[in-house]
Chain A
């Protein structure tokens, strides 16, 4: 077994009494691409944070053996010195600095405190050409696309002579083309003898790329297998631990009555008003219908709905109708007054106010309802409504006045949902409603969506998770580069490939009812 580069044995990590990792063992062979799979919250990130020194030695139990040596990793610098580098999902680059400075940040080539720029430039050039990246070292990071930025992160890790590279969901925000470049580079790294740990939810990629797949579930290692012996279904089964069919409680409840319609809607970029982010979108929503919006990240779905909702700063034109009446919306408040609500994509940035309590967060959009004389808040009514929704949505918290940041992602999302459900709604827009929350909470949110639809609310759901779109929508619209490229009625024969084909701009497909 001396071809192992890394062995993590019996890792136990607790967070205030809760075991996030329970005797996890994990072994990686030298030079392989090792995929680490598991649901959100399964413990992948925690394990990788232990390995990369974010959680220092002593804050967990168990051993790390790297390159035949027992390691004591006290901080990130220790890990980097040993040759372990992690590339997080959120990139840690300095947007206003050029490529070469980013690559050597914290690691500058210098003599007597004076930075040696030519040496840094030539080394950067060398690394870039080795990776066959056509990027000028002087280019500012902000001028590069997300995909290229990701690749610069990898180069940065290589500049530190990393022999074990951890990639946390590297392709989550990449375009198809960029994914190919990334895969190509990973292949080249393998030849160079660099080992990769690859965390991804995209199982097709995992199967295509990885040599070995390890699955973690609920803080335990479920198993490691050669990728060649696995199928997608098999991995999912290992991840979920049960049949996937019951993940989506599908109900059909669409009516024929149109409640909401968008005509000739175009959204322009904030910083570049000549650029169309959404180009002439037309769609309608029926009462009680769940309309899924599929597409790749950057297809313009978020821009479309946030512009309709009155939250997008850029220019837009087009018409929006609710129950046949044309609306004029300039501010989210105009939408809320009409009975339209939007759950934002980025919960932390747009959904919750971290320093406020569960109760204050929940009633923020309805606070006017509790207004008594002299602008006073009717505490009794407010508390009673909050109590109601805590029970209805099964929000788990130690109390109404608990700070919302102490709740889990799923419970936070339920509070944000409750915030809008406290209003009388006709249309509910959900932008990535289940991103970053665990399976249990997901299931509850799907059930809630079904209940709301049964009550006659029209639901628009944006999701980049294709099985979810297929599992829960009555009808699916697919966007590609700002245009609505396809419409599918969700019936049994519809599969992910058809939608994906449309989302990458392959064909336009219309299945009008």
Chain B
């Protein structure tokens, strides 16, 4: 069977080999992204005399990015599908507020409050999606309106006060750390999955005469990734352990990356963003897909909302302000195109890390808030400019 397939493959097109070096020629986007992240880290570690790279701060940094990270996963689905969601910041604040109000004021059990918040997030996502997909109102308008409506509900519901002191069960999600052993175990699982993935892709590509990089390059790549994972786990463990919100982000990232790259659903997300009309003619139900994508986003926003109020141990009227901008910026820095059809979960996560690093580093340097806005805004524009400039050259 395998031999037969192999023969077929050879008959189709001669097997292509990729040279050792060319395997590391990622697209320019990946390079610029990683380069940007590394240079930001280098600048901050120099200006803070190395404080930026302490395990305590890095652990904090990853906890901070987990919220933007989860938002940007939902956002990248929406952006790939060719839409936009401006309401996620307000909605995250509102959903966090609901958890807090249920738990603090109504004395509801923490787990139940979380459950209700998740369901509400899903329902609001479905409602947004219904307005956009079935009622044909542009996403920009629906979510711009939603941004104001959700913020208004939050202010009205909390009467402008801060709702504080949540149950330990809720605080766990945003603040707890896992035992060191669990951290190591997670690292090992991650490396094992990487190896398995690489090998199965090689096997498949060999069968169908697609390009395969040499084994040595593959090994270098895996070892490199394993080292990064190892360093990450060690740093986190040497502070207090693997933070729960980072674990939640990691699970979401893996799950939704799988959805986007390996599933029928994911293929269709790219298709409707690439050309909705052609997708419809090929039998894709574009309206149902759009609704589902906004539903997923609503669910992810509710998770982010719970993590936010859990970390702050409170819900306030200003919670989640401008978070939509961070999420959109993260997706774009991570290579997503606002024209639709292009983007990835991995990119969005790295983008979120860039945004969180900027926040974290500038706070450490006591840079005034107005400068933080100016710098973050400029970095976003710069990232897109670099992308466009390199695209034109090719």
Residue positions of A touching B, CB distance < 8 A: 309, 311, 331-333, 335-337, 342, 344, 349-356, 360, 364-365, 367-368, 370-371, 374-377, 379-380, 383-384, 387, 390-391, 399-401, 419
Q: 12 extra interchain contacts, Cβ-Cβ under 8 A, other than A331-B280, A399-B13, A419-B282?
A: A331-B285, A332-B283, A333-B285, A353-B275, A355-B274, A355-B341, A364-B267, A377-B264, A377-B267, A380-B204, A383-B208, A400-B210
- Contact status A352-B278, CB under 8 Å: yes
Those 7 A-B pairs whose CB atoms lie nearest each other, nearest first: A353-B274, A333-B283, A375-B263, A365-B282, A364-B282, A383-B208, A353-B275
> How would residues 263 to 275 of chain B score, 1 for a CB under 8 Å from any chain A CB and 0 otherwise?
1110110110011
- Contact status A376-B341, CB under 8 Å: no
- Contact status B341-A387, CB under 8 Å: no
- Contact status A384-B208, CB under 8 Å: yes
28 A-B pairs within 8 Å (CB atoms) are namely: A309-B281, A332-B282, A332-B283, A337-B283, A342-B281, A344-B281, A349-B275, A349-B278, A351-B278, A353-B341, A354-B274, A355-B274, A356-B271, A360-B271, A365-B283, A367-B268, A368-B264, A371-B264, A374-B263, A375-B259, A375-B263, A377-B267, A380-B207, A387-B9, A387-B208, A387-B209, A391-B12, A399-B211
Given A349-B278, A352-B275, A353-B279: A360 in contact with B207 (beta carbons within 8 A): no
Residues of A within 8 A of B268 (CB): 367
Within 8 A of A (CB), among B204-219: 204, 207-211
How close is A349's CB to chain B, nearest CB, in angstroms?
6
Residues of B within 8 A of A336 (CB): 282-283
Residues of A within 8 A of B264 (CB): 367-368, 370-371, 375, 377
The A contact surface, by secondary structure, is helix
Closest to A333 in B: B283
Within 8 A of A (CB), among B7-25: 8-9, 12-13, 16
Residues of B within 8 A of A332 (CB): 280-283
How close is A167's CB to chain B, nearest CB, in angstroms?
30
Residues of B within 8 A of A380 (CB): 204, 207-208
Residues of B within 8 A of A419 (CB): 282
Whether B181 sits at the interface, judged by CB under 8 Å, is no
Whether B135 sits at the interface, judged by CB under 8 Å, is no
Residues of A within 8 A of B211 (CB): 399
- Contact status B271-A390, CB under 8 Å: no
Cα separation A311 to B277 with both chains bound (whole Å):
9
Cα separation A383 to B207 with both chains bound (whole Å):
9
CB < 8 Å: which of A311, A335, A344, A356 contacts B270?
A356
Given A353-B271, A390-B12: A375 in contact with B278 (beta carbons within 8 A): no
> How would residues 239 to 271 of chain B score, 1 for a CB under 8 Å from any chain A CB and 0 otherwise?
000000000000000000001001111011011
Whether B342 sits at the interface, judged by CB under 8 Å, is yes
Whether B37 sits at the interface, judged by CB under 8 Å, is no
How close is A416's CB to chain B, nearest CB, in angstroms?
9
Given A355-B274, A356-B271: A375 in contact with B265 (beta carbons within 8 A): yes
Given A367-B264, A380-B204, A399-B13: A311 in contact with B280 (beta carbons within 8 A): yes
Residues of B within 8 A of A309 (CB): 281
Whether B191 sits at the interface, judged by CB under 8 Å, is no
Closest to B275 in A: A353
Residues of B within 8 A of A399 (CB): 13, 16, 210-211
Residues of B within 8 A of A335 (CB): 283
Cα separation A336 to B341 with both chains bound (whole Å):
24
Residues of A within 8 A of B9 (CB): 387
Residues of B within 8 A of A349 (CB): 275, 277-278
Residues of B within 8 A of A376 (CB): 262-263
Whether B362 sits at the interface, judged by CB under 8 Å, is no
